[in-house]
Amino acid sequence: MKMKANNYLKQNQSQRIALASSALLIIIPNFFPNLFHPLTRSFPILFSEWNAPSAKHLRLLDGALLQQISEKQNADIWSPLPDQGWKPCTDSATVPSIPEKSRGYIQVFLDGGLNQQRMGICDAVAVAKILNATLVIPHLEVNPVWQDTSSFTDIFDVDHFIEVLQDEISIVKELPSMYSWSTRDYYGTGIRPTRIKTAPVHASANWYLENVLPMLNSHGIAAIAPFSHRLGFDNLPKEIQLLRCKVNFQALVFVPHIRRLGDTLVQRLRSSPTTNKGTTNDILEDERGSGKFIVLHLRFDKDMAAHSACDFGGGKAEKLALAKYRQVIWQGRVMKTQFTNEELRHQGRCPLTPEEIGLLLKALGFNSDTRLYLASHKVYGGEARISALRKLFPLMDDKKSLASDKERAEVEGKASLLAAVDYYVSMHTDIFISASPGNMHNAMLGYRAYKNLKTIRPNMVLSSQLFLNETIEWPEFQWAIQNAHKNRQGQVRLRKETQSIYTYPIPDCMCQQH
């Protein structure tokens, strides 16, 4: 009887300890919010790495590591796209000359990341053309997550921008002194008669003529904020569409120091892997430009992981950290949380992890000697998260491994400039692939279609369903992946109604060759 009582007391004590531990995990975020806060600099990934994520697809990983790639497979996957019968036609358009008198000044305030802001700049030029107005160099808002204060002139070559478009619209770097009061701070402190705050998403040209032109005629200036995605993709005059293409593919180039760093990275990626990295040593002449490389946009930062509402294998601590982050940023507005992880994956709505995109690349026919450049912000989960990818592709680099601290000094700590470097390298790679759809994926899809360059679009639904199959063997997985991606490597896709001209530039930006 006494023994039973002791056992009961021990069991009770264990339960109390377990309950106390669970309660502690729940209340810690309330007492120590900095541990979970999305903008914290102190302990950015403390909770997410209590249980470092390990490989989830060991059966496939073993098969991939043992796989031998044939010469034919290797040649096929690296072969450039054939001529598909389309060429850029922005230069062939007859664009009306710039009118002698402007109707006033247009200001736009652009939020989002680099790629979203880039599309906004293109739309701003188009709106200025529609209204026969003078465009003020767009103002880039500070991103609330990355806290980057970089301006247009920090990222883009403003003189080149104005020169390329000088026959299309009038552009000024700053407002004349009579309008110097029209600043971002001015519009942030009250309702102003010169601000347009209600521009609908994907507004028509007529909407601007009916709602913004009267303001220009009355005040000589109109400030549009917010502006992102505020111009539609359909039912616009051909010359306006061609102008957007000209801005995106010709007028917007990065500042010289970003291009120089990008060229350095490309040069080192094309050289022998044994060449010294992160130095200014000359690359041997017989090694220069001889190799090929892939750019992989991982898109696996904490912001993305939390918004996806998927399980990435980091255990209870990671789930708790992501849930807290999601609540702070989106206040419960992530609708995907109503689905289970399996349901989300069956629908192809979970970003591929670094391990999964590595297995996909291996199945497509890339061998372990492939040079891989990671274009992404800090990977959520750290080195543990990308260890399986590194096993598959040991010749894996990023900005930090390829360039010295001195070479990176002008862009370090500035999210937009770092993204611009990745964008530039992605423009010049042999093959680009993104682990999940997003603005970078869409921008590169458009640019590389315009240049007829190879871009692999992962089949998210099929890939996710294959990864859910815990008994699938490597040969079956490889066959399924290869079969599903035969026509997802840059083949021409015509833009459908409502689709973005920046993602699908054919036929608006390109002409068929006869």
The DSSP string of 385-418 is HHHHHHHH-SSEE-HHHHS-HHHHTTTTT-HHHH
Residues 23 and 480: their CA atoms lie apart, in Å, by 45
In a domain, 31, yes or no: no
In a domain, 451, yes or no: yes
Provide the β-strand partners of residue 94. Answer: none
Stretch among 160-164, 181-185, 298-302 having the lowest mean pLDDT: 298-302
Same domain, 383 and 397: yes
Confidence of residue 48 (pLDDT cuts 50, 70, 90): very low
Q: For residue 309, is pLDDT > 90?
A: no
pLDDT of residue 341: 85
Provide the β-strand partners of residue 291. Answer: none
pLDDT of residue 122: 98
Are 490 and 387 in contact, with CB atoms under 8 Å apart? no
In a domain, 185, yes or no: yes
Tell me the average pLDDT across 27-36: 42
Q: How far is CA 311 from CA 27, 46, 315, 320, 344, in A?
A: 22, 18, 8, 11, 10
In a domain, 450, yes or no: yes
In a domain, 472, yes or no: yes
Where does 102-258 show beta strands of DSSP type E? 105-110, 134-136, 139-140, 171-172, 195-196, 221-224
Confidence of residue 250 (pLDDT cuts 50, 70, 90): very high
Q: Which of 165, 162, 161, 152 is nearest to 114 (CA)?
A: 152
Higher-confidence residue of 459 and 322: namely 459
Confidence of residue 96 (pLDDT cuts 50, 70, 90): low
Q: For residue 71, is pLDDT > 90?
A: no
pLDDT of residue 78: 96
Report the first-to-last Cα separation within the chain, whole angstroms: 97
Are 53 and 344 in contact, with CB atoms under 8 Å apart? no
Higher-confidence residue of 504 and 322: namely 504
Report the percent of the chain where pLDDT is more than 90.
65
Same domain, 212 and 67: no
Can you give the residue range of the structural domain that contains 266? Answer: 52-84+257-271+289-512
In a domain, 35, yes or no: no
Q: How many CB atoms lie within 10 A of CB 5?
A: 9
Same domain, 451 and 507: yes
Provide the CA 80 distance to its chain's centre, in angstroms.
24
pTM of the model: 0.86
Same domain, 201 and 328: no
Tell me the average pLDDT across 162-171: 96
Higher-confidence residue of 102 and 2: namely 102
Q: What is the mean pLDDT of the chain?
A: 86
Query: Helix, strand, or coil here: 514?
Result: coil
Q: For residue 508, is pLDDT > 80?
A: yes
Confidence of residue 339 (pLDDT cuts 50, 70, 90): confident
Tell me the average pLDDT across 119-124: 98
Provide the CA 306 distance to its chain's centre, in angstroms.
16
In a domain, 42, yes or no: no
pLDDT of residue 93: 46
Same domain, 80 and 188: no
Same domain, 182 and 261: no
In a domain, 486, yes or no: yes
pLDDT of residue 51: 59
Question: How many domains, in total, are found in the chain?
Answer: 2
Q: For residue 166, is pLDDT > 50?
A: yes
pLDDT of residue 95: 54
Same domain, 439 and 412: yes
Same domain, 357 and 240: no
CATH code of residue 229 = 3.40.50
Report the percent of the chain where pLDDT is more than 70.
85
Residue that finishes a domain, picked among 197, 225, 253: 253
Same domain, 407 and 263: yes
**In this predicted model, what pLDDT tens digit does every residue of 363-410 receive, in sequence order?**
999 999 999 999 987 788 888 889 999 999 999 999 999 999 999 999
**In this predicted model, what pLDDT tens digit does every residue of 169-185 receive, in sequence order?**
999 999 999 999 999 99
Same domain, 391 and 404: yes
Same domain, 235 and 264: no
Provide the CB-side half-sphere exposure for 225 (13 A, CA): 24
Same domain, 404 and 321: yes
